[in-house]
Amino acid sequence: MAEYFTQKCEICGKEIVTHGAKNWGYKIKLPKGPYKFFCTYKCQRQYEKKHQKKKVDLIAQAAEEEARKPKKVPQDRGVAAQKLAEEIRTGRDPIKWMAKNGYKNAYQAYDAVRHYCQTKMPEMLEVLKPIKELRKAEVQKVKQVPDIETLEEQVAEVLNAEVKPIGGTFRYQITGIETDLGKFQWSKDPEVITFTYEGEDISMLAGDWLKMKRQLPKILDTLGVKE
């Protein structure tokens, strides 16, 4: 025997009494939550109009749900094999390619393509290495850290600048640049840039140099300096 059910209308607050919640027709089930009950269809429609989703929101929600669906291993595994081989030949990570293209388990999908190649495209196996060899290559790649002093010299040569490493291995701060006008030297705490021209130094705060940059075109124009 059904029990009496008592609730209040979500719109007008009127008390609702019926035999069991399932027997009441004017209700809405929220996506993440309980039912909302209404005393009449009029109140239900009033609630729906206030809370209806915009068309743009519905399209975005549908796209998000579609993106979350795991993709299956490609039906045409021969095409996938060609793509993976291209990634490997150009020095990129084939597993990252699988993940980027939406495969839920990239390693499993890669292995499935290799399994296909064993019978259908054996010539591809020389390029599509086993997963163990791929992971071994990844470890070796991480361990190949360049010599810091050599890298620092290369950076300085390209930029025609003085550099110093910051914290990690590959982060550098430029401390000075040599130009046709003269040398600009940077120092920290406070940030000061010193311009050296024919043996004389002009030191200004970095902020002042920025102000000079903004004002210089107007100053030159006012003085009548032409290119």
Average pLDDT estimate for 65-88: 70
**Would you list the domain boundaries of the chain?**
4-52, 77-143, 179-227
Cβ(164)–Cβ(176) under 8 Å?
A: no
pLDDT, tens digit (0-9, with 9 covering 90-100), for 136-150:
665 555 455 555 566
Cβ(227)–Cβ(218) under 8 Å?
A: no
Cβ(29)–Cβ(1) under 8 Å?
A: no
pTM of the model: 0.31
Please state, as a whole number, how many other Cβ atoms lie within 10 Å of the Cβ of residue 99: 16
Which residues, in sequence order, are bridge partners of residue 166? none
Q: Residue 14 corresponds to which tokens in the numbers above? A: 């009127």
For residue 60, the model assigns a pLDDT of: 67
pLDDT, tens digit (0-9, with 9 covering 90-100), for 112-137:
888 888 888 888 888 887 877 777 66
What is the C-alpha separation between 160 and 163, in angstroms, rounded?
Answer: 10
For residue 157, the model assigns a pLDDT of: 61
